[in-house]
Structure 1
């Protein structure tokens, strides 16, 4: 087998495909996580702080998450959510308690359907 002939073909093919995408963040989802009733909270250490995000464990016709923690107080967009659909990841710094309250709109009002909290270090 002539390796000198194969290497240029591989290099040209890789160049046509564009940069390699690994599909994941550059850090592990290595922070604490937890679930409470119908909501799960996840965190990841980023080297400059942490990220927090949430998901509903059930399908929600209309709802949102309120994610709070050190340096963090955000609401996800209001709308329909599939079970297991991750919210946006929110960046923050600090240590202490991080929480994600899930809210669902039904019967003419908002109802809390879970409030998991973890301690970020």
Structure 2
């Protein structure tokens, strides 16, 4: 048997295997990801959506993270402040978006406590919209 022919068939089988495995992985991998949640210090962010499409961005406080002040959501062309008041656990400030954001957009939520001496940052939680 010819060594070159055997080697050629081996390369053809190997290449076919890699193409099939690559196609299977591509078919099962999510195409893009907008939905994310996370917290930092006393502030949390939740991004609802699929792919690059963001339906809404929500800011909230953590458990025992209550404060008097406001929440701020920004990034990806969004810049909104909540009303000033008491923000406790389970209270949410939601900004409807309803559109695609550019790949790599970073959305952030900040909690700002209003104190006698001014504003005190109570956390900045961010999430990236990406493929």
Q: Which runs of 4+ in 1 moved over 6 A?
A: none
The one of 83, 93, 96 aligned to 1:90: 96
Question: 1:70 touches 1:93 (CA, 8 Å); kept in 2?
Answer: no
Give per-residue Cα distances to partners, 1:67-112, cap 9 Å, x unaligned: 0111211111111111231112331541310001110012331000
1:45 corresponds in structure 2 to: 49
Following the alignment from structure 2 to structure 1, what is the Cα–Cα distance between the partners of residues 46 and 81?
A: 15
1:3 corresponds in structure 2 to: none
Correspondence 1:56 to 2:58: no
Change (3 A) 1:48 1:34: closer
- TM-score, normalised via structure 1 length: 0.66
Larger helix fraction of residues: 2
Give matches, 1:1-121, under 5 Å: 31-45=35-49, 49-50=53-54, 51-57=56-62, 58-60=65-67, 62-91=68-97, 93-95=100-102, 96-121=105-130
Question: 2:38 touches 2:127 (CA, 8 Å); kept in 1?
Answer: yes
Q: Give RMSD over aligned pairs.
A: 2.0
Aligned length: 91
Question: 1:71 touches 1:93 (CA, 8 Å); kept in 2?
Answer: no
Q: Which ranges in structure 2 are unaligned for 5 or more consecutive residues?
A: 1-33
Return the index of the structure with the highest Cα Rg.
2
CA deviation after TM superposition for structure 1 residue 117, in Å: 0.7
Change (3 A) 1:38 1:89: same
